[in-house]
Structure 1
């Protein structure tokens, strides 16, 4: 996807409608900004990828002295300008139709105190917009400045995917298991965006990756690898790996926006890496699942990532200590640790 195509897509107002109707998303930014007015009072703020300008308006209402609402698509002139004018905020919010990489601060202007952005994509990094936020951080943020959000975490958990497995065993009395197998093979070549029911998680999830946005670099986003052994926490069919994320905002009124299956649904839903065929049906709680996931930026399109998962042998992989799985070595290790605690 070219940069021009990417920004042109955001001229479709239905995309903004989807985001604005996402109540967990909206509520998190509202609470993070308006709930921390002391951080915004009389401050200079930059909103990277301002879209309709609603986050810039939040910043102005929180007491910011000046807000640069930077938006590369034509939504800046077609929507954001009107929104700021309609809300009487033109004396505070300056809408700028530009990529942040091409923006230049006025010669007499100071760097900004806060950068606000809603840059997250599917599995957190899809769309590569974090690159632009980090560019703004490195070029426009004061040394003691703040980022909203400031931290982010990616989680992964083994899961069942009945919508691609069990639901096809009987379609109006017809067994379509062979069709489902071909469908999974097709879908296994790329991540699937699904709403995963909490009951379909076979584990509460482990941290795949964590970032402090004040110090992460663009190069560190090019490839993220994670390997682990987890013990299933419930019985079920292992049919895929569910990925979700959460972001945390700074301030005493600390706000977390989560896309977990356990949290209220967002437009991001969850991303599932579907296994072409079940590794094992009717797995039991405490069975170990060993795996490695690689999230690598696409060479053809830097805004997309290739996600690959490899199933590993839990017999040969190193387990965390303690590990609650039912393998003998882990049971013995756990018993030994308990004896040491009581001695």
Structure 2
């Protein structure tokens, strides 16, 4: 998808309706900004990909002196109206421009804070983080703040009842033969759907942790993981679930606001990204059994806004296990017991 197509897609008002009705999304940004009003007081803020302008309005209400709301699509005209509707035109300057083409006024050297809602499916889809990094490198003063400031991608083996169990009984009719063909047709790309917390076979491990103050576009070109995790409950291993969390800055010593798209959190429009196993690779697993897998996210060479996601099934006997490991393999049980004995001796 080229930039022109990407920005045109975001002129669809229904996309913005979905985002604005996403209460976890809205509440996370609103609370992160308004609860940190001291950070925004009399500051200059840059909103990258401002959309309808609602994040810019949160910043202005938190006390920002000036907010530059940069939006490349024609939605900028709507943002102008929304800002005017809320009597914030003197503070919020809406600019219809790609952030890569934007320039601050000569009287402004750098901005104090950058806010952006840049996250896509599985965090990185759409590649908007590249634009946020560009803005950070060019416009953010040393010591300035990023909202959000960190992000993490999680992965866990899971069951996928919507694609498997549902077809066991469709009004009393078994339809797994149909379901197998359906899954095969849709197997070329991950599924974006919602699963329940009860469908997770593990609490999830971090595939990638991103510091928005340090990350570069090159760091995002490829992310990979090889891991072994112990199953936490009996169930059906039918795929891998991918989700993300974002954390906002805070002065609170007890920690800031964390926004999560986990199956354990309230549902968002991002849902979860599911890499579905082929039917012949699915299996019933028991608590403590090890599951080994590899996962690679790599930029599509023909479209930097998209990623190719590849999963590999690994032999748990051949992959190095974490220490200590809670799985039921004999070597892990013995290693865990040995480590426990050493702790007692110390």
Give the TM interval when normalised to the shorter protein: over 0.9
2:55 aligned partner: 55
Offset at residue 171 of structure 1 (A): 2.0
Offset at residue 179 of structure 1 (A): 1.6
CA distance in 2, matches of 1:85, 1:134: 29
SS at match of 1:242: strand
Matching residue within 320, 323, 326 for 1:324: 326
SS at match of 1:167: helix
8 A Cα contact 1:229 1:291, kept in partner:
yes
Offset at residue 185 of structure 1 (A): 1.7
8 A Cα contact 1:33 1:62, kept in partner:
yes
Q: Which segments of structure 1 move beyond 6 Å, counting only runs of 4 or more?
A: none
Deviations 1:35-81 (A, max 9, x none): 0000000000000000000000010001101100000000001x100
CA distance in 2, matches of 1:36, 1:207: 27
Q: Unaligned regions of 5+ residues in structure 1, if any?
A: none
SS at match of 2:219: helix
RMSD between aligned residues: 1.0
Aligned pairs for 1:8-19 within 5 A: 8-19=8-19
Change (3 A) 1:282 1:8: same
Deviations 1:8-52 (A, max 9, x none): 111111111000000000000001101000000000000000000
TM-score (norm 2): 0.97
CA distance in 1, matches of 2:192, 2:144: 34
Offset at residue 173 of structure 1 (A): 3.1
Matching residue within 302, 305, 308 for 1:303: 305
SS at match of 2:305: coil
Deviations 1:237-275 (A, max 9, x none): 000000000000001251110001010111101110000
Offset at residue 279 of structure 1 (A): 3.3
CA distance in 2, matches of 1:145, 1:169: 55
Aligned pairs for 1:92-111 within 5 A: 92-111=91-110
8 A Cα contact 1:187 1:274, kept in partner:
no
CA distance in 2, matches of 1:219, 1:245: 20
Comparing 235-244 and 173-182, the one that deviates more: 173-182
SS at match of 1:164: coil
Comparing 55-64 and 253-262, the one that deviates more: 253-262
Deviations 1:148-204 (A, max 9, x none): 000001100000011111211222333221221122122221110111111110111
CA distance in 1, matches of 2:21, 2:171: 35
2:20 aligned partner: 20
1:7 is aligned to 2:10: no
CA distance in 1, matches of 2:145, 2:96: 23
1:157 is aligned to 2:159: no
SS at match of 1:237: strand
CA distance in 1, matches of 2:279, 2:338: 38
CA distance in 2, matches of 1:278, 1:247: 35
Aligned pairs for 1:192-341 within 5 A: 192-253=191-252, 254-277=256-279, 279-341=281-343
8 A Cα contact 1:292 1:311, kept in partner:
yes
1:66 aligned partner: 66
CA distance in 2, matches of 1:279, 1:232: 16
SS at match of 1:162: coil
1:133 aligned partner: 132
TM-score (norm 1): 0.98
CA distance in 1, matches of 2:134, 2:263: 32
Offset at residue 278 of structure 1 (A): 5.2
CA distance in 2, matches of 1:247, 1:190: 25
8 A Cα contact 1:225 1:294, kept in partner:
yes
Offset at residue 280 of structure 1 (A): 4.6
CA distance in 2, matches of 1:23, 1:169: 34
CA distance in 2, matches of 1:188, 1:320: 30
SS at match of 1:143: strand
